[in-house]
């Protein structure tokens, strides 16, 4: 395989020309007005981190087998006795998933107790695969994500780093040519309402969500393409499905069928509501279908450990155990151990941190650095109810640019002009030079805990190469020089630059900058950028957006700039290669449709080529070489603008057992999908009162 190394020669050439007083990377450097890039600093060694991770073979974490006998939570005994539920052995599949004791830090648990969560996102509904927000903050992980074909969250402690854990697909095999993948489903599993789970549910999810381009699925049809050809899926029998791929053994396919991307939806409930199959007159619209599972459509029908049974808008959500859950421990005890999950609702993600610090919640992802010191101080108290562990530098905050000039245009003059600015490297470099990254980091949390970040791969990513990073220093004079060269000047002296040519000539340059309602630190970053970019004559209007509104806005393409907290693909690119370059229609920063084709910038074409090659490269060293080249091109072109990098902290209640050492907050997926929630338990003498003890989900006819 040919491995590109052009970036190394580019660096050498840049060094030579700088010595001669000419910089090739920025057009006005010859005038001595634009500072050259600087070496990216070494990381701060803070002596932080969680416990040592114990790596295990997959079959020491989970197997699938029939056991001699089964047991259930005592809270279900009365319902079996009065005939409301069948006996536990009749509710379980032929060969249930068995969570092995070797994979449990604290062993087989005790039934009872509740898990206390917190969400700062409104619950818009439960049609998850139509990209409807259930409220995030783990809500979807406790319910729908345990019905995915495979599971990848716990791979941080598996000896295999790419091959996933089995989930609702218990095993699989490749054809001799590597182009067909036959998957065997759990036989005899049931949905939480007692209806059978079969391959028909998988096919409905494939045809009705992933293949139907009218649905805004997490991973749509075009994500399932290689070299311009699509994968197909067919039903073999009631418990077998077969994928056919255009290339040999595409390793990234497993990360299209994992939790959050291919959560199997209940065909018996939703297929009659889908426009393709509904027999209603008139037929439902796609909007009707997307909103079919409103927040009050309860109980939820799920394959997960718990069922949403009660929801009070912006106040409280209650989940009770799923009596038909299809996993057990080695002693035959039906999982989960915890009887109940409750979620408080609040306006900001910081509320979860404060709730956990106060001892009223059981878990926090420390992702808002403004609460780090308070959490670390409280955790050191011997009477603290929680522990905190820290991971590598994977917590990245930055700014996305909307590059689409053929999509999401509502004002033909203004929107196109703004996005043409974004597509000019000089403008992106100017914003980078005008961003005081370390100043923003220190304003949020003083000390060495946070530092500037160029964007692209996280410094804590296994394949990160510091020498490949092109890092523009904070230098407002350089920013002004670049904007002057573009002809963007403040002609009327009001402090805001104007366009000098085109349909917007004479109009002030005003950009819209979105920030997340629930990721509080995105708002801190946005507020700082309003001021810093204002000093170079770029007016910024900041807007705080809730999660569902952002999902809808992103899908429509009607945005300028957005402050983000980065996804896991910049830590482990193989989990979502399509998220690193515009390979699919719904690439976040540069969307298009079949009728509004994307106009790629030259460097985007390079990135897309690298990631296309990466998707079919199985040699680890070759993959790293590709990513090194990728990150150089990415940072040189400021594809997104990194602001600061830090570390996630995981805070969990001390009373809760079986949370593995070294569990990351965000690696393959979020911690809720890494922690094996169904195996968590609490000693009886530390259990808390439940909100709805001795109750189960009750479904209508």
For residues 119-148, average pLDDT = 93
**What is the average pLDDT value for the chain, to the nearest integer?**
91
For residue 548, pLDDT over 90 is answered with no
3-state secondary structure of 665: coil
DSSP β-bridge partners for residue 614: none
pLDDT score recorded for residue 507: 97
pLDDT score recorded for residue 16: 32
For residue 34, pLDDT over 60 is answered with yes
Same domain, 27 and 79: no
Q: Tokens for 105?
A: 């830090």
Q: For residues 183 and 228, which has the higher predicted lDDT (pLDDT)?
A: 183
Same domain, 134 and 213: yes
**Total of domains in the chain:** 2
pLDDT score recorded for residue 116: 97
Same domain, 500 and 432: yes
pLDDT score recorded for residue 175: 97
Same domain, 357 and 432: no
For residue 14, pLDDT over 50 is answered with no
Same domain, 490 and 572: yes
Is residue 698 included in any domain, yes or no? no
Q: Among the listed ranges 33-42, 59-68, 581-590, which one has the minimum average pLDDT value?
A: 581-590
Q: Exposed (0-12), middle (13-18) or buried (19+): which is 687, by Cβ within 10 Å?
A: middle
Element (H, E) at 203: helix 199-205
- Separation between Cα atoms, residue 116 and residue 338, nearest integer Å: 11
- Separation between Cα atoms, residue 647 and residue 69, nearest integer Å: 45
pTM of the model: 0.79
Q: Among the listed ranges 26-40, 341-355, 455-469, which one has the minimum average pLDDT value?
A: 26-40
pLDDT score recorded for residue 7: 42
**Confidence band of 46 (pLDDT split at 50, 70, 90):** low
Same domain, 358 and 218: yes
Angle between helices 437-444 and 520-534 (to 10 degrees): 140
**Confidence band of 605 (pLDDT split at 50, 70, 90):** very high
State pLDDT tens for residues 504-528: 999 999 999 999 987 789 999 999 9
Q: For residue 642, what is the domain's CATH number?
A: 3.10.105.10
Same domain, 192 and 329: yes
Element (H, E) at 13: helix 6-19
In this structure, the chain runs to a length of 701
Range of the domain at 129: 62-99+104-362+656-686
State pLDDT tens for residues 264-315: 999 999 999 999 999 999 999 999 999 999 999 999 999 999 999 999 998 9
For residues 675-689, average pLDDT = 97
For residue 597, pLDDT over 90 is answered with no
Q: Among the listed ranges 265-279, 494-508, 586-600, which one has the minimum average pLDDT value?
A: 586-600
**Confidence band of 412 (pLDDT split at 50, 70, 90):** very high
pLDDT score recorded for residue 404: 95
pLDDT score recorded for residue 482: 97
Same domain, 467 and 558: yes
Nearest to 665 by CA among 525, 453, 443, 460: 460
For residue 20, pLDDT over 50 is answered with no
Q: Exposed (0-12), middle (13-18) or buried (19+): which is 501, by Cβ within 10 Å?
A: exposed
Same domain, 31 and 149: no
């Amino acid at each position: 395989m040919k491995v590109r190394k052009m970036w190394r020669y580019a660096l050498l050439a840049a060094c030579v020309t700088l010595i001669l007083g000419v910089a090739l990377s920025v057009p006005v450097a010859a005038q001595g007005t634009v500072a050259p890039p600087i070496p990216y600093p070494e990381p701060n060694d803070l002596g932080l981190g969680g416990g040592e991770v114990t790596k295990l073979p997959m079959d020491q974490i989970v197997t699938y087998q029939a056991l001699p006998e089964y047991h259930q939570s005592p809270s279900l005994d009365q319902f079996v006795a009065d005939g409301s539920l069948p006996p536990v052995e009749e509710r379980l599949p032929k060969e249930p998933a068995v969570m092995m004791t070797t994979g449990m830090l604290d062993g087989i648990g005790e039934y009872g107790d509740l898990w206390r969560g917190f969400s700062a996102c409104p619950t818009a509904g439960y049609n998850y695969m139509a990209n409807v927000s259930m409220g995030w903050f783990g809500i979807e992980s406790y319910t729908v994500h345990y019905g995915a074909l495979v599971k990848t969250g716990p791979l941080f402690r598996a000896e295999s780093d790419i091959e996933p854990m089995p989930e609702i697909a218990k095993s699989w095999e490749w054809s001799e040519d590597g182009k067909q993948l036959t998957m065997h489903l759990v036989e005899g599993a049931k949905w939480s309402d007692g209806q059978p789970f079969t391959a028909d549910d998988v096919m409905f999810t494939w045809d009705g969500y992933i293949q139907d381009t009218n649905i805004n699925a997490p991973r749509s049809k075009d994500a399932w393409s290689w070299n311009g050809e699509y994968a197909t899926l067919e039903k073999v029998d009631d418990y077998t499905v077969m994928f056919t791929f255009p290339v040999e053994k595409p390793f990234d396919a497993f990360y299209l069928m994992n939790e959050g991307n291919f959560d199997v939806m209940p065909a018996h409930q939703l297929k009659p509501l889908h426009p393709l199959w509904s027999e209603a007159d008139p037929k439902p619209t796609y909007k009707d279908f997307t909103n079919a599972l409103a927040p009050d459509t309860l109980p939820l029908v799920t394959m997960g450990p718990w069922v949403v049974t009660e929801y009070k808008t912006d106040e409280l959500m209650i989940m009770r155990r799923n009596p038909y859950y299809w996993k057990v421990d080695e002693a035959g005890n039906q999982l989960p151990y915890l009887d109940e999950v409750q979620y408080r609702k609040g306006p900001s993600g910081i509320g979860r941190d404060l709730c956990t610090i106060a001892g009223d919640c059981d878990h926090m992802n420390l992702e808002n650095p403004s609460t780090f010191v308070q959490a670390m101080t409280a955790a050191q108290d011997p009477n603290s109810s929680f522990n905190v562990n820290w991971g590598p530098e994977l917590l990245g905050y930055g700014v996305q640019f909307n590059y689409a000039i053929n999509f999401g245009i509502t004002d033909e003059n203004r929107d196109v002009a703004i996005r043409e600015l974004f597509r000019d490297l000089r403008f992106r470099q100017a914003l980078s030079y005008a961003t005081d990254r370390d100043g923003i980091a220190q304003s949020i949390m003083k000390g060495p805990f946070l530092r500037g970040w160029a964007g692209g791969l996280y410094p804590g990513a296994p394949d990160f190469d510091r020498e490949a990073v092109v890092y523009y220093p904070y230098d407002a004079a350089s920013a002004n020089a670049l904007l002057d060269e573009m002809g963007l000047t403040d002609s009327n002296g009001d402090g805001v630059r104007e366009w000098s040519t085109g349909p917007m000539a004479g109009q002030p340059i005003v950009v819209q900058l979105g920030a997340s309602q629930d990721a509080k630190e995105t708002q801190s970053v946005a507020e700082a950028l309003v001021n810093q970019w204002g000093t170079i004559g770029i007016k910024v209007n900041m807007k705080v957006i809730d999660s569902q509104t952002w999902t809808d806005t992103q899908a429509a393409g009607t945005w300028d700039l957005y402050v983000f907290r980065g996804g896991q693909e910049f830590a482990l690119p193989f989990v979502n290669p399509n998220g690193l370059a515009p390979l699919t229609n719904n690439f976040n920063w540069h969307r298009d449709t079949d009728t509004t084709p994307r106009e790629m910038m030259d460097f985007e074409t390079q990135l897309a080529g690298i990631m296309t090659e990466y998707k079919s490269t199985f040699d680890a060293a070759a993959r790293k070489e590709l990513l090194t080249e990728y990150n150089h091109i990415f940072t040189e072109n400021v594809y997104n603008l990194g602001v600061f990098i830090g570390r996630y902290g995981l805070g969990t209640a001390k009373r809760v057992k079986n949370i593995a050492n070294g569990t990351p907050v965000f690696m393959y997926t979020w911690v809720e999908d890494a922690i094996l929630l169904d195996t968590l338990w609490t000693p009886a003498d530390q259990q808390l009162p439940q909100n709805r003890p001795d109750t189960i989900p009750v479904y209508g006819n």
